[in-house]
Amino acid sequence: QAQFVESGGGLVQPGGSLSLSCVVSGGRFGIYTIAWYRQGPGEQRLFVGSIANFGETVYAESGKGRFTISRDNAKNTVYLQMSNLKPEDTAVYYCNVPRSYYDTRPAMPWGQGTQVTVSS
């Protein structure tokens, strides 16, 4: 199984930008689709978007037009670039491998996540 280490979170003002990283160890990064998820205060953990091994991306409505997912296969790393951030983007952000293209539930144990707080 793969292990995930998320980083890059922090405090940002509304309208600001932030870039998160997810380093994946173990498993077979080159064949994985990697997804980002987030869990806001008192909320369920939700799918944010994903990137397939060949680069195709899918986004939830919440991030369309504001979030961009990319990957560097040489570094076993996936990125989540977020712009025009809103207070409702405040959450702990996680990455994982989804069960399939149609099933975004995570297939592996979670990492520790990285906290993003959007506040003035």
69-120: per-residue pLDDT in tens? Answer: 999 999 999 999 999 999 999 999 999 999 987 899 999 999 999 999 999 9
Mean pLDDT, the chain, rounded, equals: 95
> Mean per-residue pLDDT for 53-58?
93
Nearest to 90 by CA among 113, 115, 59: 115
Q: According to the model, what pLDDT value does residue 27 have? A: 84
pLDDT band at 5 (very low <50, low <70, confident <90, very high): very high
> Mean per-residue pLDDT for 8-35?
95
Q: According to the model, what pLDDT value does residue 44 have? A: 95
**Is the torsion defined by CA of 76, 81, 5, 96 positive or negative?**
negative
Q: According to the model, what pLDDT value does residue 100 have? A: 87
Q: According to the model, what pLDDT value does residue 102 have? A: 84
CA-CA distance, 105 to 87, in Å (whole number)? 25
